Amino acid sequence: MGSLVRSPGFSVFSSVGAALVLIAGASSHAFAQDGALEPATLRLNYVANAEHAPYYVGLEKGFYADAGIDITITPGIGSNDTVKLVGSGNDMFGVAVADAVAIGRSRGVPVVATAVLLQQSPNVMISLKDSGIETPEDLYGKTVGVSSRSTVFAFWGALVDAAGLDASQIELTDLGTTSSSPVLIAGTIDATITLATNEVIALQEDGFDLNVIDLGDYGVNSYGQVLFANEAVVADNPDLAKRFTEATLRSWEYTIENVDEAIEILKKHVPETEIQKETAKWTEIIPRTRAASGDVPFGAQSVEGWQSTYETFASAGLIDTAYDPADLIANLD
């Protein structure tokens, strides 16, 4: 596995973690009492849904306030845009899929990761059950729909490369800004790449039977969702970056242990939340907070993990300018 960068925080999977939660909460609460709360902005990668519940939990339960932070949470329109907004200084912190952060860095966007929230990518290839698509080779003669504007396109390129597919035997449709699920249901496309932690659960909750191909089974290895920051924020105010990361990990761990309460909190802040669907998504989210192999502390990141993520997309021709993947890791010491 190699050396790990243990993001400030604790592990929900041990009693030691519970003790550290109390310690972190007590020390940061003292910080908050010493002065006014420090403002910090968080840009989500999409309209708030299940995977974003922890940030509203942190706001509602006072975890960010305990860390001396006055958090402002803003919805996003996609990971690529969130990376750009944080990189430009429009927002201080962001949450996005790891590939968007890695690819953004190769394009000169000054962002660094402070924690890895999902050790495993939730991107999967899906098709309707009667399509007969159970392996990547079954895509030959079929139509795959992906958006060239989305990080999904990066995963498609990575799958083609990793699985050794002949792309000329597969029809590719650019979905643009169109959501892939309705197009798949309508039969316009045969397969698409989407999130097991979101669209897959939503479709299954609506009664659709799916074939699901885990891209990791075919060599597409990447971190999933990450917390990241503008590089200047970390350099100029490392204490804030550390406290923000600690509060975020605390919020995630509380959510993992209290999913029903967390989704109720999400609904309070996002009234259109469908309780049953958003709760069900956590059955896919929680397993991906753990590494596929080995005992990795929650939130931790490693050079090896980022190297694997980097190489997955470099091999698909999506890293514009080569750089050291270690540069993606924020120094919070």
pLDDT digits (tens, 9 = 90+) for 82-112: 999 999 999 999 999 999 999 999 999 999 9
How many CA atoms within 13 Å lie on the side-chain side of 92? 21
The answer to whether residue 28 sits within a structural domain is yes
Q: How confident is the model at residue 16 (pLDDT cuts 50, 70, 90)?
A: very low
Range of the domain at 162: 123-218
Domain check: are 116 and 10 in the same one? yes
184-201 burial code (b ≥16 CB/10 A, e <16): beeeebbbbbbbbbbbbb
We report the CATH number of the domain holding residue 148 as: 3.40.190.10
The predicted model gives 115-142 an average pLDDT of 96
| CA–CA separation, 128 and 191 (whole Å) | 8
Cα four-point dihedral sign 296, 109, 37, 333: positive
The answer to whether residue 51 sits within a structural domain is yes
The predicted model gives 235-259 an average pLDDT of 98
Q: How confident is the model at residue 27 (pLDDT cuts 50, 70, 90)?
A: very low
Domain check: are 295 and 321 in the same one? yes
Domain check: are 188 and 235 in the same one? no
The answer to whether residue 333 sits within a structural domain is no
Question: DSSP letter at 225?
Answer: E
The percent of residues in the chain predicted with pLDDT above 90, rounded, is 77
The residue that leads in pLDDT, 7 or 145, is 145
Beta strands in the chain (DSSP E): 4-5, 38-43, 69-74, 93-97, 111-116, 123-128, 143-146, 171-174, 191-195, 210-214, 225-230, 301-302
53 pLDDT above the threshold of 70: yes
Domain check: are 87 and 227 in the same one? yes
Q: Are 135 and 112 in contact (CB under 8 A)?
A: no
pTM of the model: 0.85
Domain check: are 226 and 85 in the same one? yes
Q: Are 26 and 33 in contact (CB under 8 A)?
A: no
Domain check: are 64 and 161 in the same one? no
Question: DSSP letter at 117?
Answer: S
- Sheet strand arrangement including 38-43: 69-74, 38-43, 93-97, 225-230, 111-116
pLDDT recorded at residue 7:
59
The answer to whether residue 230 sits within a structural domain is yes
What are 57-75's pLDDT values in tens digits? 999 999 999 999 999 999 9
What are 301-314's pLDDT values in tens digits? 999 999 999 998 88
The answer to whether residue 319 sits within a structural domain is yes
Among the three residues 218, 240, 268, which one is the final residue of a domain in this structure? 218
pLDDT recorded at residue 293:
78
Domain check: are 43 and 169 in the same one? no
pLDDT recorded at residue 8:
59
2 pLDDT above the threshold of 80: no
Q: How confident is the model at residue 19 (pLDDT cuts 50, 70, 90)?
A: very low
The total of structural domains in the chain comes to: 2
What are 269-297's pLDDT values in tens digits? 999 999 999 999 999 999 999 998 778 99
What residue spans of 189-302 are helical by DSSP H? Answer: 199-205, 231-236, 238-257, 259-269, 275-280, 282-288
The predicted model gives 34-56 an average pLDDT of 94
Among the three residues 218, 233, 268, which one is the final residue of a domain in this structure? 218
Two structure tokens written together for 76: 């996003």
